[in-house]
Amino acid sequence: MTTKLLALIVAFAVLVAVPYWVPGIYYVNVGSQILFYAIFALGLNVLVGYAGLVSLGHAGLFGVTAYATGYMLQLGFGHPMAILIALIISMVSMAIFAALSLRSTGIGFIMITLALGEILWGLAYRWISLTGGDNGLSLKTRPAPFGFSLSDANTFYYATLVIFLLSLMAMAVFVRSPFGAALMGTRDQPRRMNALGYHVWAIRFYACMFSGLLTSISAVLFVYYTQFISPQTLALTASAEVLLMVISGGAGTLLGPIVGAALVVVVKTVVSGFIERWNFLLGAIFVAIVILMPEGLVPGTVRLWRMAWRKRPSPVTRDAEAKS
């Protein structure tokens, strides 16, 4: 337990110090990207990892928030108002998408979310009066909460870090809570959960809303980071990319999606500067993960670590420890 606490403190210190130890502004921006994509992946992990519902349309909701923020700013709203309205629109959209998708689970759920994502992508592409079509929407400024202008890369990084840490804490509380336990129960034995008195559909619905909230928060950070939104953001490849973050890092774990997000963003931005065929590299990495650690990087590393040190306790000693 103390080693865990120590690791947390070290990780926190490393994250806070990022602007001081990375070689330049470019890398601070990479750090911001990792953090908001990590929030996105944490949100998707609520469904993929803890609810057992694989969504291939999450980039659609991400896009709804991003476009809504951009459009509200174009209409002349201030930043706080624009963000608030965008989040409300996103939550209403998520409720509708959840009501449609939760008619099914398994493959059916994947296909419905995929279809919804494609519809949203089509709308972004064709509804030119609202979205600007292929040209997208540009945001002229970033907000300046409490007098800190987020136009500065370091300030933006710290704002993202604060929101990231809050999201991570929310996730940590969520997975230990009775509701989190109920959600994981519906993932493993939905029929049994129903017989035990749980409203399986409602539990999944609320999980969708929580997942959608994290997704939308990350989308607000994204759209202020790039100050630009185009239909590409909603494409199927974007949904698949976040799903890969979750699965490669370790679905159903707290830290897995963060590691996955870091992996994908680093390969996409930093490594792509050195290797032209970075897509190929990313694919090769995923194949290696699937072969060596099918459960994902985080649980896989833990497993290898235990094997290396032979720290895996036998059931008998574990019970004895639990008793004492």
Partner 1 sequence: MSALTVTNLRKAFGGLRVTNDVNLNVEPGERRLIIGPNGAGKTTLFNLITGELTPDSGAVHLLGQDITNVPSRRRAHLGMARTYQIITLFARDTILHNVTLAQLGLSPARWNPLIDLKRQGHFVEHAQAALDRVGLGHIANRPLAQTSYGERRRVEIAMALIQNPRVLLLDEPFAGLSIDERRDVKNLLLAIPRDVTIVMIEHNMDVALEFAERITLLHFGEVIVEGNRAEVVADPRTREVYLGH
Query: Residue numbers of the site for partner 1 (CB under 8 A)?
Result: 173-174, 176-182, 184-185, 188-189, 191-200, 210, 315, 318-319, 322-323
**Closest CB 313 distance from partner 1, rounded Å:** 12
Nearer to partner 1, 24 or 315 (CB): 315
Nearer to partner 1, 35 or 213 (CB): 213
Considering only CA atoms, which of 118, 114, 111, 120 is closest in space to residue 90? 120
Judging by beta carbons within 10 Å of its beta carbon (0-12, 13-18, 19+), is residue 111 exposed, middle or buried? Answer: middle
On whether the CB atoms of residues 267 and 285 are closer than 8 A, the answer is: yes
**Closest CB 73 distance from partner 1, rounded Å:** 32
**Closest CB 203 distance from partner 1, rounded Å:** 8
Nearer to partner 1, 192 or 277 (CB): 192
**Closest CB 273 distance from partner 1, rounded Å:** 41
Nearer to partner 1, 237 or 324 (CB): 324
Expressed in angstroms, the distance from the first to the final Cα of the chain is 16
Instruction: Please tell me the distance from the alpha carbon of residue 7 to that of residue 200, in angstroms, as a whole number.
Output: 37
**Closest CB 309 distance from partner 1, rounded Å:** 20
Nearer to partner 1, 91 or 266 (CB): 91
On whether the CB atoms of residues 215 and 246 are closer than 8 A, the answer is: no
DSSP letters spanning 189-213: -HHHHHHTT--HHHHHHHHHHHHHH
Phi and psi at 229, nearest 5°, equal -140, 130
Residues 6+ apart with CB under 8 A from 153: 19, 25, 28, 29, 32
Phi and psi at 250, nearest 5°, equal 130, 100
**Closest CB 289 distance from partner 1, rounded Å:** 21
Nearer to partner 1, 140 or 191 (CB): 191
**Closest CB 28 distance from partner 1, rounded Å:** 33
On whether the CB atoms of residues 41 and 260 are closer than 8 A, the answer is: yes
Nearer to partner 1, 210 or 222 (CB): 210
The DSSP call for residue 145 is G
What token pair was written down for 265?
Answer: 């963003």
Judging by beta carbons within 10 Å of its beta carbon (0-12, 13-18, 19+), is residue 221 exposed, middle or buried? Answer: buried
Residues 6+ apart with CB under 8 A from 235: 59, 121
**Closest CB 177 distance from partner 1, rounded Å:** 5
Nearer to partner 1, 133 or 190 (CB): 190
**Closest CB 181 distance from partner 1, rounded Å:** 5
Instruction: Please tell me the distance from the alpha carbon of residue 48 to that of residue 52, in angstroms, as a whole number.
Output: 5
Considering only CA atoms, which of 84, 86, 43, 85 is closest in space to residue 66? 86
Nearer to partner 1, 103 or 318 (CB): 318
